[in-house]
């Protein structure tokens, strides 16, 4: 079945540091890939997405590239802020399963 593997957190960074959160997936067919973010006390919000190989999704300074050859969709940001502190979820969607499959989430803490 489909699955998503994320690096375990928490990830703690200083403000303005470079962020990478790894995500790899296993899926039948050609999935669409997503990053969702969950701020404290809130539900999940779509951060960015990519629907086919080599697509780059980007939003709010975050970006991720759909790498079919390595089945990866790593999240990156060049300079994090305290306000980026949240839990980040990688997810995939395939038409065959017709549902989102989520990773376990990675908590990011950004300190001054």
Partner 1 sequence: ETGVTQTPRHLVMGMTNKKSLKCEQHLGHNAMYWYKQSAKKPLELMFVYSLEERVENNSVPSRFSPECPNSSHLFLHLHTLQPEDSALYLCASSQDRGGQPQHFGDGTRLSIL
Radius of gyration over every alpha carbon of the chain, rounded to an integer in angstroms: 13
What is the closest distance, in whole angstroms, from the C-beta atom of residue 66 to partner 1 in the complex?
A: 14
Of 12-20, 55-63, 73-81, 87-95: span binding partner 1 (CB under 8 A): 87-95
Residue 52 or 99 with smaller CB distance to partner 1: 99
Q: What residues between 36 and 75 interact with partner 1 by CB under 8 A?
A: 36, 41-46, 49
**Interface pattern 1-40 for partner 1 (x via CB under 8 A):** ---x---------------------------x-x-x----
């Amino acid at each position: 079945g489909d699955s998503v593997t994320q690096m375990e957190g928490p990830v703690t960074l200083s403000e303005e540091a470079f962020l990478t959160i790894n995500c790899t997936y296993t899926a039948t067919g050609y999935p669409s890939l997503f990053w969702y973010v969950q701020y404290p006390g809130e539900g999940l919000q779509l951060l960015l997405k990519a629907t086919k190989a080599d697509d780059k999704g980007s939003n709010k300074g975050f970006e991720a590239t759909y790498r079919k050859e390595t089945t990866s969709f790593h999240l990156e940001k060049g300079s994090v802020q305290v306000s980026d502190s949240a839990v980040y979820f990688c997810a995939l969607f395939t038409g065959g399963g017709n549902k989102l499959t989520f990773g376990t989430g990675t908590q990011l803490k950004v300190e001054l």
